[in-house]
Amino acid sequence: MTTHTHKIRKSAKADSEKLPDISGTKITYAGGTECGVEITQRMNEEPTVSAGSTVTVAGYTGVAENQSSEILPQYKLDGAIVWETTTTLATEGDSV
Amino acid sequence: MITYFESLTGANCTVGGQTIISLTATEDMEADYDTASAICLAPGGIHDRGTQVQTVEGGVSTGLWITDDAAWIYSGRKTWRRRSGTDAYTHLPLVSYRLRRKGYLQARATISRATLGTDNYPPKFCTQQRMYEINQEINARIKAGELTYYAANRERGTWRPVAGAADIIRTVCGWVGLPVSFRVNLKACAEEYMPVGKTALAVCKEVASWSGASCHLNRSGTLVVYDWQQVYGQASSVPMPQSLLEIEEHQAVPSPTQVTVVGKGYKGVVVDRPAKPAGWSPSGIWRPAQPAATYISGRHEKAVEVTESIGVPGGGRHVEERIEINNYPLDPQLAQAIARERLARAELQALSGTYQGPAEGCQSYAPITHRIFSVTRTLNWTGSAYRYEITICGPRATMSWGSILDDSGWW
């Protein structure tokens, strides 16, 4: 099977809130962070999609939150019809 | 001092020097103690239970409190945060307090051997007149050979003669270390009173109620003994917020509408003495002439019954409450005051209003010092600024009564 990474979209999100402080000025605090990577790959074979387990895709490791695959009959790769798979990973840490 | 929305900051909204996230404080003249709950940021550590703290709202003190319950809050969802300019996540120093008015720890103390000491326990108060009678009884028992002098002195020593009800309150407050201030003269006093097992506040309220008076712990933790009718029956307006967001005015049918106070008191007998000419007495002493005179003599028990009433809305019939007082002497004026106080409470609380608005500039509004039944202030951080509101409940009517009964010749 030939696989090409077609698109990578990284995201990091944190909740923030302002709280009063004894100094009289407001202080911004960051709450929980959520980092993730969305990877789109094209391959010349029908893939199996799954979610919920820790996977490594295009060098990024995380919990697969969502995985979807779509056939693209208008394109061929190494003579076979192309399948495009999009995987959304939730990664550990404050950055990705 | 008027404060404005934009001038409320973490520096001037504090509980014991800790920035307020949220505060709800309620001061109610009917409640035993004012209460408050607060959530604060406490980077210097939590105030331990029983600590005295001051609430400051918009830079204005709103009184002294005791931490009745203090709790640290650790919560991943609520407190796990990274402060701007730092790399590390830590828990916010979030604490919550349940507060009660300063003096709470003293006022809730029970009249027990541990509080009073063995020498003062059990406390037995009596009036000076009653002490005179007790002494006569003891002397009679000595004469009859029932008591030795030693036993008689011990018996006398167990009693505390007092000049009046105020003396009992002062003594009890002194035992528990509670400052007290009188805004009314307490006229009535039971001949004997043994307050064992009660809280100091319950004792003070009971003793004050003999004279139709009430008690309230004020913002500085001083027990104020006051005349309810004088505070709430007067013709002065209820203080209002700078602007009104909500109004709720009640017109309830009061109950009772008629109060009868019955009891007994002591009254002297008026004696008319005729003029006496000058002359020698039977024992040979020269007596000058004496003019005719009228004076009060003796101590005679007399029944007292006073009925007071207010108008019944809708032309209905009266609902009567009968108050029988047997444990202390009354005079007609005192019975009338007790009846009027009971009716004034019923009528004014039936004609009450609740007013809500911004609390800026209203920090000083409090029951007793103002004509307010209760006041609740809330100060909440909204994410960008404080929201500060006040709810005031007060009477919408005044009470006017006829003439006061004569109490001359009674004691």
pLDDT tens per residue, range B24-57:
999 999 899 999 999 999 999 999 999 999 999 9
Can you give the pLDDT at residue B1? 46
- Between B230 and B343, whose confidence is greater? B343
Could you tell me if B191 and B130 are in contact, meaning their C-beta atoms sit under 8 angstroms apart?
yes
Can you give the pLDDT at residue A86? 97
Nearest to B381 among A20, A22, A23 (CB): A20
pTM for this one?
A: 0.82
Q: Burial of B368 by CB count in 10 Å (0-12 exposed, 13-18 middle, 19+ buried)?
A: buried
How many inter-chain contacts (A to B, CB under 8 Å) are there? Answer: 57
Q: Is residue A81 part of a domain?
A: yes
DSSP state of B400: -
Helix, strand or coil, per DSSP, at residue B339? helix
Q: Which residues of A85-94 are buried (b: 16+ CB within 10 A; e: fewer)?
A: bbbbbebeee
List pLDDT tens digits, range B337-390: 999 999 999 999 999 999 999 999 999 999 999 999 999 999 999 988 999 999
Q: Is residue A58 part of a domain?
A: yes
Helix, strand or coil, per DSSP, at residue A30? strand
Largest CA distance in chain B: 112
Could you tell me if A72 and A43 are in contact, meaning their C-beta atoms sit under 8 angstroms apart?
no
Residues of B in contact with A20 (CB under 8 A): 9-10, 13, 19-21, 41, 381, 386
CA atoms of A25 and A27, how far apart (whole Å): 6
Could you tell me if B232 and B374 are in contact, meaning their C-beta atoms sit under 8 angstroms apart?
no
Domain count, chain A: 1
Please report which residue ranges of B48-96 form alpha helices under DSSP H. 76-79
| Residues of chain A numbered 15-44 and touching chain B (CB < 8 Å) | 17-32
Q: What are the φ and ψ backbone dihedral angles of B232, each rounded to 5 degrees?
A: -100, -20
Average pLDDT, chain A: 93
Residues of A in contact with B84 (CB under 8 A): 27-30
Residues of B in contact with A93 (CB under 8 A): none
CA atoms of B280 and B52, how far apart (whole Å): 76
Q: Is residue A96 part of a domain?
A: no
| Residues of chain A numbered 52-81 and touching chain B (CB < 8 Å) | none
Can you give the pLDDT at residue B4? 56
List pLDDT tens digits, range B191-222: 889 998 899 999 999 999 999 899 999 999 99
| Boundaries of domain holding A44 | 3-16+28-91
Question: Closest approach of chain A CAs to the CA of B54, in angstroms?
Answer: 15
Could you tell me if A9 and A89 are in contact, meaning their C-beta atoms sit under 8 angstroms apart?
no
Question: Closest approach of chain A CAs to the CA of B85, in angstroms?
Answer: 9
The whole-number average pLDDT for the span A70-80 is 94
ipTM of this complex: 0.73
Structure tokens at B302: 């007399």
CA atoms of B341 and B324, how far apart (whole Å): 15
Q: For chain B, list the domains and their CATH numbers.
A: 5-100+353-395 (2.30.110), 113-218 (no CATH), 252-279+288-350 (no CATH)
**Cβ separation A23–B10 shorter than 8 A:** yes
Can you give the pLDDT at residue B270? 74
Q: Is residue A60 part of a domain?
A: yes
- Between B77 and B193, whose confidence is greater? B193
Structure tokens at B318: 């009266």
Q: Is residue A68 part of a domain?
A: yes
DSSP state of A47: P
Percent share of chain B, pLDDT over 90: 64
DSSP state of B276: B
Q: Is residue A23 part of a domain?
A: no
Q: Is residue A8 part of a domain?
A: yes
Length of chain B: 411
Structure tokens at B44: 């210097």
Q: Is residue A77 part of a domain?
A: yes
**Cβ separation A19–B381 shorter than 8 A:** yes
